[in-house]
Amino acid sequence: MSEAPRSIRAFVAMMATLACAACSVLDPYDVIGRQLGEAAPVSTEVVPSPPPATLGAAARERAFDFVWRTIDRRYHDPRFNGVDWKTVGERYRPLALAAPDDDAFWDVLDRMTGELRDSHTRVESPRRVALRKRDESITLGLSFIPIGDRLAVDGVHPDSDAWWAGVRPGMIIVSIGGKPAGEAYAKLLAGSRIGSTARARHLQAVRRLVTGAAGEKVAFTFERGDGTRFDAVLARRKVELKRTETHRVLPSGYGYLRFSQWTIPLTLRALGALDELKSTPGLVIDLRGNPGGAVSAVNMMLERFFAHPTVLGRTTTRTGQPVSLFLGAVDIIQLKREIEGDPGAYRGPVAILVDARSASGSELFAGTMQAAGRAKVVGEASCGCLLGFLGYAHVPGGADLAYSEVGFELSNGRKIEGEGVIPDVAVPATLDDLRLYRDRALEQAQALLATMKPSTL
């Protein structure tokens, strides 16, 4: 879960001079520094702007040391999830310095952070940083999941080569780059950074295949549902990552709400939609494919489902203290996760849809609602990727580093990181459902709502 709460941003410009004068005391987490676009104070390295096209040996050493030291001093768990972080650094340092090019160098640093088995702690190369800031992706335009011993297409972007080549959900990938799909996939997994769960590592493997430089091509063989096969050479193309919200009253009479990310603007739209759906007897909130966002956005939504003050869990930090600014005068993140409640809260039963791509903020919302007894969860186990970071630290050489600074524990004592939100009703993906565009999870969610009673919380 990313980004410092928006409420602190009004302080940033006003306090910039003061923060620079005594940042280690007044801003121990360097929240202001990162909001201003400065590097974390554990390094005094000045980041070139724009970054050089090729990093020399000295620049690589500075970048490596910055990443390793920042995590060593700032990571939320002083035990580093049981990993010997010093040994990890000693093992990866020669690999990074000997990388054949800049992209390989940044990839080595990212794989080093993956040793923590933490999907939030990562290094984004300058190329990925630029795409993220423009809300763009360069992609082959398809995604896939293992079903049994085969790789099944489960999504195709309508602006991609894949779509126009005739690739559709439910098709089987037979070969990739001239190699059997299973063999190619195993190689992708082996080269991918370790994630919080096997599901997270699968998503990394998919990303390694489908993203890359614009114009690069990959050859595939696909198999249709009737057993016929076709070959397609797909090029990676730039696509815009649109943030979407949709809602409606379903034919069953239940409300349906789906949004693609936990940003403040999109969550405000979702809250407006919730007002429109308030008279429905039950509500489906679809968080499938939603990778998360800001914890403040999640809290805004949670407030609308509890009529009374409710403790929803707690946060954990390296120091055991709240994340604060100005000698504790401003708490950004408190240890007790508590909401005031809303007398006008939605009282109807709630079913939440999740899948392996539901991560971070989506997991916090779904897991919190489930643990509090306020909702049932339907679908597939979520990513298992729930830690928090307070903004990117800018690495010498132009990359960005995210590192986890906050952990989350639900009201029932469970931690989602490394496990995921486990559905109350499991609905695994099947080839038949993909080929028929049948949404069995949505069907099951509506059937479940019919058995649930309004909330008294």
pLDDT single digits (tens) 273-328: 999 999 999 999 999 999 999 999 999 999 999 999 999 999 999 988 887 664 45
For the chain, the structural domain boundaries read 6-118, 136-240, 245-449
Residue 457: pLDDT band (50, 70, 90) is confident
Instruction: Examine the pLDDT at 125 and tell me if it is beyond 60.
Output: yes
Backbone angles phi, psi at 403, to 5 degrees: -140, 135
Q: How far is CA 335 from CA 6, 338, 408, in A?
A: 18, 9, 9
Mean pLDDT on 8-32: 41
Instruction: Examine the pLDDT at 226 and tell me if it is beyond 60.
Output: yes
User: pLDDT averaged over the chain?
Assistant: 88
- How far from chain centre, in Å, is Cα 129? 15
Backbone angles phi, psi at 111, to 5 degrees: -65, -30
Instruction: Identify whether 50 is preceded by a cis peptide bond (ω within 30 of 0).
Output: yes
**Burial class of 250 by CB neighbour count within 10 A (0 to 12, 13 to 18, 19+):** middle
Residue 422 DSSP code: P
d(CA 147, CA 171): 11
Residue 255: pLDDT band (50, 70, 90) is very high
d(CA 450, CA 254): 9
Instruction: Examine the pLDDT at 38 and tell me if it is beyond 90.
Output: no
Mean pLDDT on 13-22: 34
Mean pLDDT on 212-220: 94
Mean pLDDT on 199-221: 94
Mean pLDDT on 416-444: 97
Instruction: Examine the pLDDT at 14 and tell me if it is beyond 50.
Output: no
Closest to 380 in 3D by CA, of 298, 451, 450, 441: 441
> What's the confidence (pLDDT) of residue 132?
87
Backbone angles phi, psi at 357, to 5 degrees: -90, 0
* CATH assignment, 136-240: 2.30.42.10
Residue 30: pLDDT band (50, 70, 90) is low
Looking at the structure, give the CATH architecture of the domain made up of residues 245-449: Alpha-Beta Complex (3.90)
d(CA 210, CA 236): 7
Give the rounded percent of residues in the chain with a pLDDT score beyond 90: 77
Task: Please give the torsion angle defined by the CA atoms of residues 190, 195, 201 and 206, in that order, rounded to the nearest 10 degrees.
Answer: -100
Q: How far is CA 220 from CA 78, 153, 202, in A?
A: 45, 12, 19
> What's the confidence (pLDDT) of residue 16?
32
- Compute how many other C-beta atoms are within 10 angstroms of the C-beta atom of residue 87: 10
Amino acid (one-letter) located at 402 = A
Instruction: Examine the pLDDT at 9 and tell me if it is beyond 90.
Output: no
d(CA 179, CA 333): 49
Closest to 118 in 3D by CA, of 144, 84, 87, 80: 80
Polymer length in residues for the chain: 457
Write out pLDDT tens, residues 63-75: 999 999 999 999 9
Structure tokens at 74: 């700032």
Write out pLDDT tens, residues 357-384: 999 999 999 999 999 999 999 999 999 9
Q: Answer yes or no: are the C-beta atoms of 267 and 247 closer than 8 Å.
A: no
